[in-house]
Amino acid sequence: MSDTPRLLTPRDWASHSQYVYPPYKSTVLRGPTKPLVPLTPALKNLNAPVYGHDLVGELDHDLTRNAVRNGEPLGERIIVTGRVTDEDGRPVRNTLIEIWQANAAGRYVHKVDQHDAPLDPNFLGAGRCMTDDDGRYTFITIKPGAYPWGNHPNAWRPNHIHLSLFGQYFASRLVTQMYFPGDPLLAYDPIFQGTPEQARERLVAQFSLDVTRADWALGYVFDIVLRGPQQTPME
């Protein structure tokens, strides 16, 4: 996903959750149980599709404005920013990042989500942007609410934002989740707890007063490292 060819360090598999983690029940059904099949060099370097890198709109990064119909979306405004880097701290430029999330009441704009919480007509819960020359990205959004899910009795997902990163090749999509500091639900969430303990804090954003915009929105920093000993855990 970098724009400069270089030798890569081995992926740190110890930073990622297991494919099958029984406390997260759906992995038992969908997680691979047979050895993975390595991609051939030809597939690894397939240059298409390019995932719409050149079609990012002016408001795509601003979820407080990109779906407005008749007013501002409800909830706490936040700014989420960070850098995408390789294992040596070098910026990963021109990478397409997409995010999706629940609204402030903890509901997604999706027909499968039947949580008894209101939809917000002015909030889609999806956005995207490109990293700049310093590898930085920025989103303006609404802090997502917690919501119940059917994994186990009285199960609630912590506040979180999904992030998807696309590289320049067919097989170079990575997906992760960003959580918020101090969330009491993290201790009960099997998705977060399924991440090896030494790597969990890499999934938690840091509050930043520098990023916070006075009288308007709180700021959070979530850096993403693609490889190496400080690699961000991926799904």
Spacing of C-alpha 16 from chain mean position: 14
Band the pLDDT of 209: cuts 50, 70, 90.
very high
Give residue 161's pLDDT: 98
pLDDT tens by residue, 79-105: 999 999 999 999 999 999 999 999 999
Mean pLDDT of 122-130: 96
Band the pLDDT of 42: cuts 50, 70, 90.
low
Give residue 39's pLDDT: 66
Between CA 83 and CA 59 the distance in angstroms is: 20
pTM: 0.87
Between CA 199 and CA 226 the distance in angstroms is: 13
Phi-psi region of 175 (alpha: psi -120 to 50; beta: other; left: phi over 0): beta
- CA-nearest of 8, 23, 180 to 101 is 180
Mean pLDDT of 117-131: 96
User: Domain extents for the chain?
Assistant: 13-225
Spacing of C-alpha 179 from chain mean position: 9
- Matching residue, tokens 């009441």: 105
Between CA 178 and CA 230 the distance in angstroms is: 15
CATH fold for the domain made of 13-225 = Protocatechuate 3,4-Dioxygenase, subunit A (2.60.130)
* Residue 152 in tokens: 């186990």
> Peptide bond preceding 49: is omega within 30 degrees of 0, i.e. cis?
yes
Percent with pLDDT over 70 in the chain: 86
Burial of 223 (C-beta count, 10 Å sphere; 0-12/13-18/19+): middle
The residues carrying an active-site annotation are 108, 147, 157, 160, 162
Say yes or no to pLDDT of 181 above 70: yes
Contact 38, 66 (CB under 8 A): no
Contact 49, 104 (CB under 8 A): no
Give residue 218's pLDDT: 98
Band the pLDDT of 47: cuts 50, 70, 90.
low
Q: Which of helix, strand or coil describes residue 80? A: strand
Band the pLDDT of 157: cuts 50, 70, 90.
very high
Contact 74, 123 (CB under 8 A): yes
Give residue 167's pLDDT: 78
Instruction: State the CB neighbour count (10 A cutoff) for residue 154.
Output: 6
Give residue 114's pLDDT: 86
Say yes or no to pLDDT of 66 above 80: yes
Highest mean pLDDT among 29-38, 109-118, 142-151: 142-151
Between CA 218 and CA 136 the distance in angstroms is: 18
- Matching residue, tokens 């919480």: 117
Strand locations in 18-120 (E): 77-85, 96-100
Q: What is the DSSP letter of 217?
A: E
Band the pLDDT of 2: cuts 50, 70, 90.
very low
pLDDT averaged over the chain?
88
